[in-house]
Amino acid sequence: MNTRGRILTTLVIASLLSACSHGDSTRQFADSFVAAESKAWRTGDVGDLKNLERDDVVYHLPGLDLRGWKAHEDFIVNGRATVSDLKQNWKYLSGEGNHIVLAYDSNAIAKATDKTPSQMTSNDYLFVLRLEDGHVAEVWANGSTTNKPLQ
């Protein structure tokens, strides 16, 4: 093989390896995010999640924007107190460049308040994460929530 052929072959192989490793890195980041998010909701320990998010992270949730890490932390800490028996399922769908797509579904019991009785609540969402400098910078979530009274 001549020098030009070797160079071309090397470039093609390097490009393929780079593409494969980049996909692996989005998958690895997604796995870390899912583990940290799940741990935060399960235990209240938000430290791992804080390390993955920018201080100015923005979450676009249906009917609500959370601006900044503190808002996301408060959402989790306060939200934990309103539910019991939370079961979360995350699925990595895709990742390329600075974007990751995750499917999410959950079931929990929403605790009774002075205005509403306890309810079974289910979520079915699609999350899109935008990364910047190796941290979550922005998240879009869209989907549905279903509530049914407990009998």
- What is the band of 15 on the pLDDT scale with cuts at 50, 70, 90? very low
pLDDT at residue 17 tops 60 = no
Q: Yes or no: say if 135 and 118 are a contact pair by the CB < 8 Å rule.
A: no
CATH number of the domain enclosing 103: 3.10.450.50
> Distances in Å between the alpha carbon of 29 and those of 78, 102, 114, 117, 150?
26, 12, 41, 38, 37
pLDDT per residue over 64-118, tens digit each? 999 999 999 999 999 999 999 999 999 999 999 999 999 999 999 999 888 889 9
pLDDT at residue 20 tops 90 = no
CA dihedral 77, 126, 100, 81 (to 10 degrees): 10
pLDDT at residue 6 tops 70 = no
Domain that holds residue 109: 3-149
Query: How many domains are there within the chain?
Result: 1
- Rounded CA gap, 94 and 73, in Å? 26
N-term to C-term CA, the chain:
75
Q: Yes or no: say if 12 and 4 are a contact pair by the CB < 8 Å rule.
A: no
